[in-house]
Structure 1
Amino acid sequence: MLSALPSLDGLEFAPVSRPEQGEVDPGTRFAYHEDDGLVWADYRGGEVVHGHLVGTRTGDTVDFRYVQLNRAGETNSGHCTSVLTRLPDGRLRLDETWRWESRPGSGTSAVEEVLPS
């Protein structure tokens, strides 16, 4: 299934807020890449020292697993499914449903495209 929305390749995203059981916050930055349905990103900021996600995109749905190192020196991992939409101002948004696999907890969150300054 093809999407009418553009590739995530080369785009930067930031969380809208900090989820209750999450570690990312508006200071976290995700650098996305996409190639032929494969999606990956590196991220850091807030409580996250370094994170990486890898997955696939089918249409406007991105399904990925993530692993990250937090400031306390702990590594954690989880699974996320995100739906890509376009905001009224033209930027892209990913509405996420996620769950930790390495510890208890799950939630929803959103990241929005950060335009170059």
Structure 2
Amino acid sequence: MARSLDGLTFAPVSDQAPGQVGTRTRFAYHEEAGGIWAEYAGGDVVRGYLVGTREGDRLDFRYVQLRTDGTTASGHCVSTVVEPADGRLRLEETWEWESRPGSGTSVVEQVIEHAP
């Protein structure tokens, strides 16, 4: 059985192009009955949301974001949930802007919060 994303926080492993998500961006995921959604912010993103579905280890969602320069952008992403040996979850993503030209791949990994 695939592990739930509900309540997990993810962060990109590397920066993307300016105006996109970067290592300071944090995604707070939720999951229920095959639906997924997340709020995200940080770096060049003031506020972002994604919503979609999960079937097994495949996520399919749309995203929209407000950037620090006051512009908005939206797109589509398909991700594969991977569980590396260290026990964290990783999302290997293929995305495409719908509001402008451009596409690419990225990886986000589960952030493990350490107690002080």
TM-score in same-fold range (> 0.5) = yes
1:27 and 2:51 are equivalent in the alignment? no
Pairing partner for 2:56 from 46, 55, 59? 59
1:40 and 2:32 are equivalent in the alignment? no
Shift of 1:22: 6.2
d(CA) in 2 for partners of 1:52 and 1:23? 13
Shift of 1:20: 3.7
What's 2:105 paired with? 108
Segments of 4+ in structure 1 off by > 6 A? none
Aligned residues of 2:11 and 2:25 also touching (Cα < 8 A): yes
Shift of 1:5: 2.2
| Residue-by-residue CA offset, 1:2-25 (whole Å, 9 max, x unaligned) | xx3210000000001122476001
Relative contact order (alpha carbons < 8 A, sep ≥ 6): 1 or 2 greater?
1
Q: Which runs of 5+ in 2 are unaligned?
A: none
Matched to 2:99, the amino acid is S
1:75 and 2:41 are equivalent in the alignment? no
d(CA) in 2 for partners of 1:49 and 1:84? 26
Shift of 1:87: 1.4
Matched to 2:8, the amino acid is L
d(CA) in 2 for partners of 1:111 and 1:32? 12
Pairing partner for 2:87 from 87, 90, 110? 90
Matched to 2:75, the amino acid is G
Aligned residues of 1:21 and 1:107 also touching (Cα < 8 A): no
d(CA) in 2 for partners of 1:16 and 1:9? 20
d(CA) in 2 for partners of 1:98 and 1:24? 12
Q: Which runs of 5+ in 1 are unaligned?
A: none
| Residue-by-residue CA offset, 1:39-60 (whole Å, 9 max, x unaligned) | 0000000100000000000000
Q: How many residue pairs end up in the alignment?
A: 114
